Amino acid sequence: MSKRLSLTVAAIALTVPGAALAQAPAVAADRTTPTSAVPYTKNMPFSSYPTADIRTRDSRWTGFTLRHPGGGRFYPQVTRWANLVLAVMGEHEIPAKYLPGILAQIQQESSGNPYAVNGWDSNAARGTPSKGLLQVILPTYRAYAKPGFRARQFQTTPYTNIWAALNYVIDRYGRDKFRSWNHGHNQGY
């Protein structure tokens, strides 16, 4: 049985304008994460994954050793999102062993900046720049967003950006894309 440590909402509160939070669907009053005595492993069951919502922020990773699939190291700005990414992976039933590949994609797309905006590619030229940790354009974000979070204001919220991006990857490319990312084949998607 895994022990869980309840974090206070203050420790995880996401800076979201009051109006935006008021329009969001109801979420749990707090979030939980396993204690360091029970670290995350690559083969853990989905029931052991952490939980998250739109208020969940970055935190210190306490799980298995994270190695960048392409060699080298992850930026600290990227590994701080590992717990949140793992929580969203649990919602999509993506095995934890694919976490390094998804983090590598975040490193390539935004360097771990949740408010990154790509203002130079063809999407930006058409007026729909990619935004957030996994650089999703607004039409794609809205099409693949978690129900209740399709509004533009949630496009750069870390939880909803990751949720929509992973949902898109599963639908568009299939789950094998995560295996490809884990082998260092990170490219635009």
The amino acid present at 75, given as its one-letter code, is Y
Band (18; pLDDT cuts 50, 70, 90):
very low
List the one residue out of 128, 120, 132, 116 whose CA is nearest residue 166.
132
Q: Which of 114 and 19 is assigned the larger pLDDT?
A: 114
pLDDT value of residue 13: 35
| 142-189 pLDDT tens trace | 999 999 999 999 999 999 999 999 999 999 999 999 999 999 888 777
Name the residue ranges covered by the structural domains of the chain. 4-182
Arithmetic mean of pLDDT, 27-37:
42
Band (38; pLDDT cuts 50, 70, 90):
low
CA distance 2 to 59: 19
The amino acid present at 102, given as its one-letter code, is I
Which residues is 34 bridged to in the sheet?
Answer: 4
- Cβ atoms < 10 Å from Cβ of 2: 12
pLDDT value of residue 24: 52
* Least trusted range by pLDDT, from 36-40, 74-78, 177-181: 36-40
Asked if the model's pLDDT at residue 21 lies above 50, the reply is no
| 82-141 pLDDT tens trace | 999 999 999 999 999 999 999 999 999 999 999 999 999 999 999 999 999 999 999 999
Arithmetic mean of pLDDT, 66-77:
95
Separation of first and last alpha carbons in the chain: 38
